[in-house]
């Protein structure tokens, strides 16, 4: 590992890294192994306590720069990397994801062809061990397929993103330096800073954001159990706020009040329906097993009464 080259590169790739000793090597290799050589790789270690830093420092490549900082969360780490990036194009790769070998070359070509400011592609979901989740009934695949189907039905990026984040991850962002400077820093949303960022990008460049929907150029790692717990709740609360904000942002000001009131009522109705259904389910036994338990309970009562009275069943 040495300092960055004096001349500005064509492309800067920022890897925000935190305690990913199992995956950081694959991420770094996937950048340095790209078919585009004119790049710099900035690895910003966000206070890792495992061997992430040691692994990155073991690389000897003039294109790689490693920086360590006290833990500041992902969005601050990304922002620091973007501030240091010198390339005419800028990309981000989370430290547990992996680029397809020709990704950067293909996206540079697509930027030129489409005069794009921001591009993203389809992704390949992989496990902790790198196995591809191919089962169409796998939960994540169902979610992603639903979001893509909505996009194909409407062919409107903004409308499709209101339905769901089919960009999937910060790792999927490939941008011009001009776009990065225009849109500015990532916001302080812990789980959805990428979702917020793509909305701001679309508002800044209504015709400059493109989806390469038929090209899978990113391996997105899905960790076991990472959809449960705090993230499942906080992420959905942040999601509600984002949708409300960016739905309004796309409407004429005279219509925003109506959209806000209607959207809030729909959320309330969804909550009320869930509460009513839960109450009804608790009050009325459903299915064969509850009925069987009730039958057995009745038989025991009947048998006790029969034996107690001295009668034979």
- In angstroms, the CA 59 to CA 48 distance is 17
- Considering the entire predicted model, what is its pTM? 0.84
Collapsing DSSP to helix, strand or coil, 175 comes out as strand
Is the pLDDT at 1 greater than 60? The verdict is: no
- In angstroms, the CA 31 to CA 25 distance is 10
Q: How far is CA 98 from CA 32, 95, 136, 171, 260, in A?
A: 11, 8, 22, 9, 39
**pLDDT tens figures, 108-161:** 999 999 999 999 999 999 999 999 999 999 999 999 999 999 999 999 999 999
Calculate mean pLDDT across residues 288-300. Answer: 61
Mean pLDDT is lowest, of 6-15, 58-67, 194-203, 228-237, for: 228-237
Q: Give the dihedral of Cα atoms 163, 168, 172, 178; nearest 10 deg.
A: 40
Which element (helix H / strand E) includes 43? strand 39-46
**pLDDT tens figures, 247-278:** 999 999 888 888 888 888 888 888 888 888 88
- In angstroms, the CA 77 to CA 47 distance is 10
């Amino acid at each position: 590992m040495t300092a960055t080259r004096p001349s500005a590169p064509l492309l800067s790739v920022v890897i925000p890294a935190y305690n990913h000793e199992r995956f950081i090597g694959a991420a770094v290799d996937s950048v340095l192994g790209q078919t585009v050589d004119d790049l710099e790789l900035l690895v910003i270690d966000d206070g890792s306590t495992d061997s992430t830093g040691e692994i990155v420092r073991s690389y000897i490549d003039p294109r790689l720069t490693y920086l360590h900082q006290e833990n500041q969360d992902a969005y601050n780490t990304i922002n620091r990397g973007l501030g240091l990036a010198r390339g005419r194009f800028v990309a981000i790769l989370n430290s547990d994801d992996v680029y397809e070998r020709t990704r950067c070359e293909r996206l540079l070509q697509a930027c030129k062809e489409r005069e794009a400011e921001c591009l993203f592609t389809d992704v390949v979901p992989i496990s902790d061990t790198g196995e591809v989740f191919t089962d169409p009934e796998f939960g994540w695949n169902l979610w992603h397929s639903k979001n893509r189907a909505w996009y194909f039905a409407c062919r409107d990026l903004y409308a499709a993103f209101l339905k769901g984040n089919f960009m999937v991850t910060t790792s999927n962002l490939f941008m011009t330096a001009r776009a990065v400077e225009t849109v500015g820093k990532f916001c302080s949303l812990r789980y959805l800073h990428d979702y917020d960022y793509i909305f701001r990008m679309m508002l800044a460049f209504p015709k400059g954001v493109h989806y390469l929907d038929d090209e899978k150029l990113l391996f997105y790692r899905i960790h076991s159990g990472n959809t449960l717990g705090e993230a499942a709740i906080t992420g959905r609360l942040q999601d509600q706020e984002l949708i409300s904000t960016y739905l309004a942002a796309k409407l004429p000001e005279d219509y925003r009040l109506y959209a806000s009131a209607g959207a809030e009522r729909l959320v309330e109705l969804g909550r009320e329906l869930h509460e009513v259904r839960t109450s009804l389910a608790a009050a009325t036994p459903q299915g064969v097993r509850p009925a069987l338990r009730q039958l057995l309970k009745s038989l025991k009562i009947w048998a006790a009464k029969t034996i107690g009275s001295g009668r034979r069943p």
